[in-house]
Amino acid sequence: MALQETASACPDGVNVQTIAVDVANRLAVATALTGLHVDVLVNNAGVATMRPLLEMTADEWHRMVDVNVNALYHVTRAVLPGMVSRGHGHVCTIGSIAGRNTFAGGTAYTGTKHFVMGFSESLMLEVRDAGVGVSVVMPGSVDTDLFPPGTDRSWMLEPENVADAVAFVVNAPPHMLVHRVEVRPLSPKRKR
């Protein structure tokens, strides 16, 4: 239902196709996405388990790496050849300010977000001459279910704020690339 609501919220005249797929499953991604005509890819899947390494299970670690890292490869690899062959397109990945910072309890999460930064910058250098833009949007705290119940989220960015940042980077003039944008709440002391 959430996919259809998102598609319905897009402006008139925008062609949106929703596909439900487990992005951590390379075969499912390849089957669902290979050969599709995609002009803009927004890599937005992510999971977070915030706890020290010695308290984290192997399953928790692998889930974060599979979704936050490996899925970037699977999904981008499935649609990027079409963008390159057409000579235009944009890959925008949602990272995090954790991609340039660290914190206790974030060993796996910050590691995956640092990967996003390196992946995005390298990919940008690889495909920009083919007319494909690559950007990363790095939000601070966003009011999502990644936070545990009871967390005061009244001061955080709203998901729409991140969507606005994505729209900003993908709608830059054709001769210009906005590669990296950091978006933060104004202040944790100020409610929205």
Residue 15 inside a domain? The answer is no
Q: Which of 42, 106, 109, 116 is catalytic?
A: 109
Whether the CB-CB separation of 97 and 139 falls below 8 Å is answered with yes
Record the pTM. 0.91
Residue 1 inside a domain? The answer is no
CATH of the domain at 167: 3.40.50.720
Each residue of 138-180: pLDDT tens digit?
999 999 888 888 989 999 999 999 999 999 999 999 899 999 9
Banded model confidence at residue 9, pLDDT cuts 50, 70, 90: confident
Residue 61 inside a domain? The answer is yes
Residue 172 inside a domain? The answer is yes
Domain range enclosing 170: 21-183
Active site residue 73: no
Q: Which of 75, 175, 176, 89 is nearest to 127 (CA)?
A: 89
Please tell me the total count of domains within the chain: 1
Residue 117 inside a domain? The answer is yes
Distance, in Å, from the CA atom of 83 to the CA atom of 133, rounded to the nearest integer, reads 10
